[in-house]
Structure 1
Amino acid sequence: MTIRPIALLLATAVAALSTGCVIAPNSAETNANRMAEVQKMSEQAVTTCGAGNVKEVNAKSFTCK
């Protein structure tokens, strides 16, 4: 039978390909970018809502009290 050697070869190939390295982005750089975005959004929130009237701020939006 030729099915078993083909199945074994296919299983070996899948196992070999699934163990490849994953390159993650630089987490320190990503955190610095997020902090800068939140800082910018905070400044916008204070300008829009007024000092002391900002309820919540994140990198994408803010809410006023």
Structure 2
Amino acid sequence: MTVRTAALMLAIAATALSTGCVIAPNSSEGNAQRAEDVRKMSEQATATCGAGFVKEVNAKSFTCK
């Protein structure tokens, strides 16, 4: 086996190993919780800024226009 062949086989193996799929456990539960957090923050933003004056809302904060 030449050095070139060994390098090619190593590159193919590295490519094959790096294409794996990662599945996060309980991702649907996390998404539901984040959606609920954003909903609560949206209500708070509307109460604080006033309807139509909310610029941006995420699960942890909001900004007014």
Q: With structure 2 as the length reference, what TM-score do the two structures score?
A: 0.63
- Determine the structure 2 residue equivalent to 1:50: 50
Aligned-pair identity in percent equals 77
Consecutive unaligned residues of structure 2, counting only runs of 5 or more, are 1-22
1:48, distance to aligned residue in structure 2 (A): 0.1
Which one has a bigger Cα radius of gyration? 1
Whichever residue aligns with residue 58 of structure 2, its letter is N
Q: Deviations over 1:12-53 (max 9, x none)?
A: xxxxxxxxxxx8430000000000000000000000000000
Q: With structure 1 as the length reference, what TM-score do the two structures score?
A: 0.63
- Determine the structure 2 residue equivalent to 1:40: 40
Q: CA RMSD in A?
A: 1.6
Q: How does 1:1-65 map to 2 (within 5 A)?
A: 24-65=24-65
Consecutive unaligned residues of structure 1, counting only runs of 5 or more, are 1-22
Separation in 2 of the partners of 1:60 and 1:29?
A: 18
Following TM superposition, where does structure 1 have runs of at least 4 consecutive aligned residues deviating by more than 3 angstroms? none
